[in-house]
Structure 1
Amino acid sequence: EKFDDMIDKEMLQTTIAIEQAANRLAEILKGSKSNQSGFQLEVNEKLLDSCNNLMMKIRILIEKSKILQKEIVDQGKGTSSIKDFYKKHNRWTEGLISAAKAVGFGANILVDAADNVVNGQGKFEELVVCAQEIAASTAQLVAASKVKAAAGSLNLIQMSEASKGVSEATGLVVASAKSGAERMDEMELFDFTKLTLHQAKRKEMDSQIKVLELESNLEKERRRLAELRKIHYQLDEDLE
């Protein structure tokens, strides 16, 4: 009987969660600029910008969802009350509430993951998973709204466009995370600026040993390939 209050509450809480996530991202970026520089700062700025862009797109989607939801209720309730409409369509209402909760929860988890990555305590892969989970949650919200929306509804079209914006923003987060991971790996692999003379010599010897091992393994694999080809040809001849 309180479904209408629950939906309003969840939508409001989701909006607040998105706002808080955006504010946290701004604080993380501010801290990154004060504590980091150069290559690392460039990677983190790009990553946080993509996350912030995703929050903006989600905020737009939530607003469009609220407008469409009001239209659905106004058209569907007829002479009955809003409470009666939600009670009659309780499964749809529960789906809408569940989707809104998932979006807000996903936003906070995404920011936690971004914070950990920027501080060197998390993995870029975790951020990718979080972004994809948010995309799935917003898709659930759109699907729940489409079930009751009128065909050709302008508000539904606008919500679908907002959903596409979320998908594109999610793609940017994923791309930024993957690119950042690759660049950070390169930095760790080739950054020798802090090495002492002894450490540099040790790493040089280790690298020479690695090269010799790889060359040896490559030569063995080439011989193995040659033998396999020889056997292949012989088996072909025997079969013929």
Structure 2
Amino acid sequence: MDTCRECGARALELVGQLQDQRALLQAQPGLVRIPLQGILQLGQELKPKSLDVRQEELGAIVDKEMAATSAAIEDAVRRIEDMMNQARHASSGVKLEVNERILNSCTDLMKAIRLLVTASTSLQKEIVESGRGAATQQEFYAKNSRWTEGLISASKAVGWGATQLVYVAPGRGAAGESADKVVLHTGKYEELIVCSHEIAASTAQLVAASKVKADKHSPHLSRLQECSRAVNEMAASVVASTRSGQEQIEDRGKCWGPGAAAGLGAGAQTLTHSPLAADTMDFSGLSLIKLKKQEMETQVRVLELEKTLEVERVRLGELRKQHYMLAGAVGTPGEEEPGRPSAAPRGGTSKKPPLAQKPSVAPRQDHQLDKKDGSYAAQLVNY
């Protein structure tokens, strides 16, 4: 702030000198240049280190991130195969069926992402070759730095999402959300669903960043769009297999230990232990990765609450149904007869209270007399 104030004061002083013909020759633009350089230096210091990249390094970073994404996907596929072998030895019956279904859908998703990354790489090479002209590949990336940074960010997001879906790094323990935790009975189904949605969003970001400069008639672009649709379908398959497996386990009344019990009862725990209370939420000290992790954790809690709400609604419906059944079975058929005359006066007897009050005439005879009176009156009129 002090530097900005000094710069403003020097700028006003320079403008005053330029307006005065006598002081015009004594004007010193250097007085403004010095505080401007100070502001520029402060801005460079405040710039995030992740963005402090020289233009000539952008091309190398793109290739590095795409290679890292491919490696993360290959590692995820191998991890799924190991998890499949562990599940076959450690579980059987319904649990094995659910594990295999979930892991197979995760494998298909990883394969679809791998094809999408390959198609994206081919499209990027086509864009660079058609647009760089006489410039080198590094110069093209440097010239289109915003587009390049978008590719880098999207590639990181895809690789991170694949890692979160299936991989738990050594030493991280139970900190990672993944299919591995679900199969090992320490995770929640909602975590797997959130990771699948996150991967679909990350791949959509990669597709959008890749086709910004692409020719709309490019075969590589068509291939990329086909791979994107396949990724969305596979992500939906992971979500569907996860939810069906969760319902199947709950219907059978079986649990996988403390992790599954926590998954089934997470809604009530979230209601009482949710950090998102009335306190003021301060996210200023969180990094990008921590913010993303908290965002995914919040999505998990939302799914848990929705599941709990759905279960409670079903329970409420069953309670009401049972209440109606018990209320209808309180009296026997013989006990229900006395109650019928109390309802009858509402419909028929209330229309003719004087006739119902005659003590010497039976109700059935009143009914007959009404008919006779009506016919007799009609005869008098006709006569």
TM-score strictly above 0.5: yes
- Unaligned regions of 5+ residues in structure 1, if any? 191-209, 224-240
The Cα of 1:216 is off from its aligned counterpart by 9.0
Change beyond 3 A, Cα 1:151–1:127: same
Q: Which residue of 2 is the match for residue 20 of structure 1?
A: 75
Q: Structure 1 residue 33 and structure 2 residue 88: aligned?
A: yes
Counterpart of 2:218 (choices 146, 150, 153) is 153
Match of 1:2, SS?
helix
Correspondent of 2:149 among 85, 94, 98: 94
Aligned length: 202
Distance in 2 (CA, whole Å) between partners of 1:144 and 1:41 is 40
Do residues 218 (structure 1) and 323 (structure 2) align?
A: yes
CA 1:23–1:219: 2 relative to 1, 3 Å:
same
| Residue 127 of structure 2 corresponds to residue 72 of structure 1 | yes
- How far the C-alpha of 1:83 sits from its partner, in A, is 1.2
**Structural RMSD (CA):** 2.2
Deviation of the 1:218 alpha carbon: 2.7
Compared CA separation, residues 2 and 38, structure 1 to 2 (3 A)? same
Alpha-carbon spacing, 1:120–1:90, altered in 2? closer, same or farther (3 Å)? same
Cα distance in 1 for partners of 2:147, 2:252 equals 50
Letter in 2 for 1:98: S
AA paired with 1:81?
Answer: T
In our comparison, the structure showing a higher alpha carbon Rg is: 2
Distance 2:131 2:321 in 1: 74
Alignment partner, residue 164 of structure 1: 229
Structure with the largest fraction of helix: 1
CA distance in 2, matches of 1:72, 1:46: 39
**Match of 1:138?**
203
Separation of aligned partners in 1, 2:135 and 2:100: 52
Q: Displacement of 1:214 after TM fit?
A: 3.3
Residue of structure 1 equivalent to 2:276: none
Q: Name the CA shift for 1:144/1:38 in 2 (closer, same or farther; >3 Å).
A: same
Higher relative contact order (CA 8 A, sep 6+): 1
Q: Give the % identical residues.
A: 49
TM-score, normalising length: structure 1 = 0.80
C-alpha change, 1:216 and 1:68, in structure 2 (3 Å) is: closer
What do residues 157-204 of structure 1 show as CA deviations (whole Å, max 9, x unaligned)? 0010011110110110010011011011112269xxxxxxxxxxxxxx
What is the deviation of 1:151? 1.9
Query: Using a 3 Å threshold, how does the CA distance of structure 1 residues 133 and 215 change in structure 2: closer, same or farther?
Result: closer
Aligned residue for 2:149, secondary structure, equals helix
- The Cα of 1:4 is off from its aligned counterpart by 1.1
User: Mind listing any 5+ residue stretches in structure 2 that lack a counterpart?
Assistant: 1-55, 168-177, 256-314, 329-383
Q: Which amino acid is 2:142 matched to?
A: K
Q: What is the CA distance between 1:61 and its match in structure 2?
A: 0.4
